[in-house]
Amino acid sequence: MSGVQVRVRVGREHYALPVTRVLEVAELGDLTPVPGSPPEIVGVHNLRGRVIPVLALATLLDLSDEEPERIVVVELDERCAGLAVDAVVDVGELPEASERVDSPYLTAAALADGLLVGMLDVDAILSSVSPEAPA
């Protein structure tokens, strides 16, 4: 997987998202809780009049939960969500994926700057909260 990636940190782990799927990066700010929602949904966020779910990426990936500070807003087709992350590390090219992974939310992993960076599958993440509409 080549191309420009947005690299984020969740706990001590690093992940990357294709920049073509990222609409914006924002402060976490105030979220409105959604009673009865799954544990990975920490609330909803008003994105310029559009209400989007915000997922705790740490919870979704079963990682230790720190206090996220940023939301990375991702979109694929008509589906959109915010991913709560601890930090945005950088934006740029990453080496080709060199490692296989066994996760429904990752496609592969690559070594970058001495760190293993998981390549996030935006479609799988969005499908976990907003299944694709039938054709």
Cβ neighbour number for residue 107 with a 10 Å cutoff: 17
Question: Whole-structure pTM over 0.85, yes or no?
Answer: yes
Per-domain residue ranges of the chain: 4-129
CB 111 within 8 A of CB 119: no
Long-range contacts of 110-119 (CB under 8 A, 24+ apart): 110/1, 110/16, 112/7, 112/14, 115/14, 116/14, 117/7, 117/14, 117/15, 117/16, 118/13, 118/14, 118/15, 118/16, 119/1, 119/5, 119/15, 119/16
pLDDT digits (tens, 9 = 90+) for 18-73: 999 999 999 988 899 999 999 899 999 998 888 999 999 999 999 987 789 999 99
pLDDT digits (tens, 9 = 90+) for 63-108: 987 789 999 999 988 889 999 999 999 999 999 888 888 899 999 9
Is domain 4-129 classified as CATH 3.40.50.10860? no
